[in-house]
Amino acid sequence: MAKVSMTVNGKSVSGEVEGRTLLSTFLREGLGMTGTHVGCDTSQCGACVVHIDGKAVKSCTTFAQDVAGAEVRTIEGMANADGSLSTIQQAFQDHHGLQCGFCTPGMVMSAAALLADNPKPTEAEVRHHLEGNICRCTGYHNIVKAVLAASGQDVGQIAAE
């Protein structure tokens, strides 16, 4: 076991981890932050996406020790300071971008990373960017709509389901 320290949602945290401890495990079991979901543990579903130093990363295939000293942001850190939903979260709600909600934390974190890099993505860019995030419920249409709406674009023109 070794001590690892990082910043999570602006707070310094540390804990004891094994070399094999995944970041998703550290967040969920070490810090009790269960907003980051684990759907596959094999880097396929995207439910576990968090930001590491501003980049969207699958936390199920990242060792906690490799994140030492980094700035991590999880879904728990996405709301506004007053607790209200962030623009991207509100857009998912407004445009029915979720049903069971299992994929939603990863979707929101991936979408937020896209909008940080590309504030006005096209529909095709949104679909391409979210390729690593699987949703079993929505058929993706309303997720794409939500991301485009969060970027301030008119969502009336996007392809029909």
Does 100 sit near ligand FES (CB under 6 A)?
yes
Instruction: Report the DSSP beta bridge partners of residue 120.
Output: none
Query: Closest approach of Cβ 31 to ligand FES, in Å?
Result: 17
The separation between the first and the last C-alpha atoms of the chain, rounded to the nearest angstrom, is: 50
* Residue list 57-76, contact with ligand FES (CB under 6 A): 58, 60
Helix axes 87-94, 141-150, angle to 10 degrees: 140
Nearest-10 Cα torsion for 28, 92, 43, 69:
-50
Interface pick for ligand FES out of 135, 144, 149, 158 (rule CB under 6 A) = 135
Does 44 sit near ligand FES (CB under 6 A)?
yes
In the β-sheet with 11-17, what is the strand arrangement from edge to edge?
11-17, 2-8, 71-73, 49-52, 55-58
Does 124 sit near ligand FES (CB under 6 A)?
no
Interface pick for ligand FES out of 2, 14, 54, 101 (rule CB under 6 A) = 101
Interface pick for ligand FES out of 74, 110, 138, 151 (rule CB under 6 A) = 138
Tokens coding 62: 């990242």
Interface pick for ligand FES out of 15, 35, 39, 77 (rule CB under 6 A) = 39
Q: Which amino acid is at 77?
A: G
Q: Write out the residues near ligand FES by the rule CB under 6 A.
A: 38-41, 43-48, 58, 60, 98-103, 135-138
